[in-house]
């Protein structure tokens, strides 16, 4: 799913739940969808990320 | 020096040695509020009678704490027994809690004088408070702890509590030229404070000096001891990278000027590099905040949407629909 498709999907979901209110919240929906997409599609490098290593039970 | 410009530490010493009483000091600050408040709008509620009562009690009981007899402002999302607590929202315009937030209870036990409740943006989020910046009243004092920062900067009180989910303590402190501190998550209890996003909310406060910030934290975590300045030069971490890339030029020049000044005064400056994933923090923060704000406000927004500002309505609208959204096939983020 592309970022554009994901954002459109977010708008549709919000519209189904909130009706016209979702249109007023378009800026928020687009920004949060962008953030969600970015985070979801970022591949971390475990060897370079101390937080990730901690999660795997290792010390940095 | 004018009494209202004494630091918290100076005032505490003056009270301790009997140079001034808590009652006299409180009266001076109430005079300062009367003089300054019409231009600054830092307070939702000023509790003159209760403050005088607390100052008398502090004078009589002489608590062994640096906070004894010290007038303090409290952000208007903290529950205060018998005092209006509005959350910066018309929905709570008549709300008077019956109990104090844990941190308010703690400072009262230490003899502090709660002067009143300071202005906040709506539910400590975005839609602004009426407070002005003391250095230029046509400018914003920053938010969300707007009233607390302006009150401390103008000498209406030597310290005031705020809360921070994104930058709500350190931003207004910076805009108003004072010291802001955001202690480690949950070091200070959030009990009795209206949540914005509970995974990110921090109890923090402002003072006019670093020494005051130190003493106040020591009192709040029950570790009060005499102030001792180390002979060693302070070691200060310097962040560039992500911050340099995203800062406006004038802000960055100010930052570098400060670094050079500290270095020139003998501080040891250490370059610190953050992991590459730090660039994701604003996005992660936004998603968590949207979902948690929605969890707190969704039902009420549906029934009283006209009593909410646009920003919080918009954020809740997205946050509440978030869980029904597919994300992506990638699951690397789960490693975080």
Residue A51 has what pLDDT? Answer: 57
For residue A2, the chain B residues in CB contact (below 8 A) are none
CA–CA distance, B182 with B248 (Å, rounded to integer) = 24
Total domains present in chain A: 1
For the stretch B135-162, pLDDT in tens is 999 999 999 999 999 999 999 999 999 9
In a domain, A60, yes or no: no
For the stretch A14-51, pLDDT in tens is 898 889 888 988 888 899 889 989 988 888 777 777 65
Give the C-alpha distances (Å, rounded to integers) separating B83 from B78, B142, B152, B159: 10, 25, 21, 19
Q: Which domain holds residue A8?
A: 3-55
Among residues B136, B129, B178, B175, which one has the least CA distance to residue B155? B178
For the stretch B81-126, pLDDT in tens is 999 999 999 999 999 999 999 999 999 999 999 999 999 999 999 9
Task: Count how many residues are written for chain B.
Answer: 336
- Pick from B280, B314, B324: which is nearest to A38 by CB? B280
Mean pLDDT computed over B309-335: 64
Residue B75 has pLDDT above 80, yes or no: yes
Residue B264 has pLDDT above 50, yes or no: yes
CB B98 within 8 A of CB B117: no
Kindly report the nearest CA distance between residue A16 and chain B, in angstroms: 9
For the stretch B13-29, pLDDT in tens is 999 999 999 999 999 99
Active site residue B277: no
Q: In B, residues 285-314, which contact A (CB 8 Å cutoff)?
A: 286-287, 290, 305, 310-311, 313-314
Question: Does the model's ipTM exceed the 0.90 cut?
Answer: no
Task: Count how many residues are written for chain A.
Answer: 60
Average pLDDT taken over every residue of chain B:
92
**Which of these ranges, B218-222, B285-289, B323-327, has the smallest mean pLDDT?**
B323-327
CB B317 within 8 A of CB A25: yes
Record: contact A35-B319, CB cut-off 8 A: no
Average pLDDT taken over every residue of chain A:
80
pLDDT band at B334 (very low <50, low <70, confident <90, very high): very low
Residue A50 has what pLDDT? Answer: 64
CA–CA distance, B18 with B15 (Å, rounded to integer) = 5
Other Cβ atoms less than 10 A from the Cβ of B34: the count is: 12
Ordered by start, the domain boundaries in chain B are 3-220, 235-274, 278-326
Residue B336 has what pLDDT? Answer: 30
Q: In B, residues 246-285, which contact A (CB 8 Å cutoff)?
A: 275-277, 280, 282-284
DSSP character at residue B4: G
Record: contact B290-A32, CB cut-off 8 A: yes
Hey, of B125, B317, B330, B333, which one would you mutate to test binding to chain A, going by the most A CBs within 10 A of its CB? B317
For the stretch B210-255, pLDDT in tens is 999 999 999 999 998 877 777 889 899 999 988 999 999 999 999 9
Residue A54 has pLDDT above 50, yes or no: no
| Assigned CATH topology for domain B3-220 | Amidase signature (AS) enzymes (3.90.1300)
Nearest CA in chain B to A7: B325
Record: contact A18-B317, CB cut-off 8 A: yes
Residue B189 has pLDDT above 60, yes or no: yes
Kindly report the nearest CA distance between residue B114 and chain A, in angstroms: 38
Residue B318 has what pLDDT? Answer: 84
Residue B331 has what pLDDT? Answer: 33
CB B52 within 8 A of CB B179: no
Residue B242 has what pLDDT? Answer: 86
User: Can you count the helices (H) and strands (E) in chain B?
Assistant: 11, 8
Q: In A, residues 11-40, which contact B (CB 8 Å cutoff)?
A: 13-14, 16-18, 21-22, 24-25, 27-29, 31-40
- Pick from B320, B326, B332: which is nearest to A44 by CB? B332
For the stretch B292-304, pLDDT in tens is 999 999 999 989 9
């Amino acid at each position: 799913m592309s970022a554009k498709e994901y954002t459109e999907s977010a708008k549709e979901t919000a519209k189904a739940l909130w009706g016209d209110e979702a249109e007023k919240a378009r800026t928020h929906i687009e920004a949060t969808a962008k953030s969600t997409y970015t985070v979801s599609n970022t591949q971390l490098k475990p060897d370079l990320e101390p937080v990730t290593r901690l999660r795997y039970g290792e010390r940095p | 020096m004018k009494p209202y410009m004494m630091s918290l530490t100076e005032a505490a010493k003056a009270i301790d040695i009997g140079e001034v009483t808590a009652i006299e000091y409180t009266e001076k600050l109430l005079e300062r509020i009367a003089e300054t408040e019409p231009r600054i709008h830092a307070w939702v509620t000023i509790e003159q009678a209760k403050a005088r009562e607390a100052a008398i009690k502090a004078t009589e009981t002489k608590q062994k704490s640096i906070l004894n007899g010290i007038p303090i402002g409290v952000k208007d999302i903290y529950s205060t027994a018998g005092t209006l607590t509005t959350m910066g929202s018309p929905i709570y315009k008549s709300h008077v809690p019956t109990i104090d937030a844990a941190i308010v209870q703690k400072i009262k036990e230490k003899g502090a004088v709660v002067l009143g409740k300071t202005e906040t943006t709506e539910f400590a989020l975005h839609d602004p408070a009426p407070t002005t910046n003391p250095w230029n009243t046509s400018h914003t004092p920053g938010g969300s702890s707007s009233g607390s920062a302006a009150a401390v900067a103008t000498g209406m009180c030597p310290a005031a509590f705020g809360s921070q989910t994104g930058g709500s303590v350190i931003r207004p402190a910076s805009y108003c030229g004072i010291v802001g501190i955001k202690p480690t998550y949950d070091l200070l209890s959030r009990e009795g404070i209206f949540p914005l996003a509970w995974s990110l909310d921090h109890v923090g406060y402002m003072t006019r000096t670093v020494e005051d910030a130190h003493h106040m934290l020591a009192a709040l975590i029950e570790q009060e001891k005499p102030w001792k300045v180390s002979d060693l030069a302070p070691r200060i971490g310097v962040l560039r990278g992500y911050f340099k890339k995203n800062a406006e030029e004038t802000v960055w020049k100010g930052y570098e000027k400060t670094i050079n000044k500290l270095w020139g005064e003998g501080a040891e400056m250490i370059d610190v590099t953050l992991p590459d994933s730090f660039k994701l923090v604003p996005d992660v923060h936004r998603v968590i905040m949207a979902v948690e704000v929605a969890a707190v406000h969704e039902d009420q927004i549906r029934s009283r949407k006209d009593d909410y500002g646009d920003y919080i309505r918009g954020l809740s609208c997205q946050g509440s629909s978030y869980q029904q959204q597919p994300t992506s096939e990638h699951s690397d983020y789960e490693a975080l």
